[in-house]
Homo-oligomer: A and B are copies of this chain.
């Protein structure tokens, strides 16, 4: 990683630069091992300036995680030009590719120490809620009225996707395409009646 030259940046740019450095470091080591000193050195700023942008190391770590989650959500955004089941397939393919590219980061965030931290959990929960909302938003196009049973199934399906994907990243015993198909077909299978699910996947 190149040492960034000391340059005049606006506060927003500087903040973004520091988070970006943190995100890049996260690809190489767990969150717990990202120190404020290392980031300040890389950015060519003082520790004091870093604490001007982030109240604590923990706050900085939360900002990194928030950025990573937003990035994943952006990469998996629904493509409105596709049919609902294709939107889902496209989003799952982007998701599997994104987490494959960021494998260590993804596994260590969701299954490491961070997973027990209240502020991190809040970011993960908000991310899951957004993923659930995207699914629920598609239902009217399929002439399916959302109800509490479907909402619960969608929440459960998101946990299914995370767990199956993390297990697969650790020991990929099926192909990428088979995993994507597994994740895609699981959603109508758990959320809809067998007939509706079958007609959707046909």
Contact = CB atoms under 8 A, between A and B. Distances in A.
B186 A164 contact: no
Nearest to A179: B152
Query: By CB atoms of chain B within 10 A, which of A118, A157, A197 has the most?
Result: A157
A167 interface: yes
A83 interface: no
A149 B190 contact: no
A157 B155 contact: no
A125 to B, nearest CB: 9
A152 B118 CA distance: 29
A164 B149 CA distance: 10
A117 interface: yes
Contact of A153 (B152, B182, B198): B182
A140 B198 CA distance: 26
Interface string A179-200: 1001001100110001001100
Interface string A153-191: 101111111111001100001100011001001100110
A167 B129 CA distance: 12
A194 B179 CA distance: 17
A152 B182 contact: yes
Interface string A84-113: 000000000000000000000000000111
Interface of A: 111-118, 121, 148-149, 151-153, 155-164, 167-168, 173-174, 178-179, 182, 185-186, 189-190, 194, 197-198
Given A112-B116, A156-B163, A159-B163, 16 more contacts: A111-B121, A113-B117, A116-B116, A149-B182, A152-B173, A152-B182, A153-B182, A155-B163, A156-B159, A156-B164, A156-B186, A159-B160, A159-B164, A160-B190, A185-B190, A189-B197
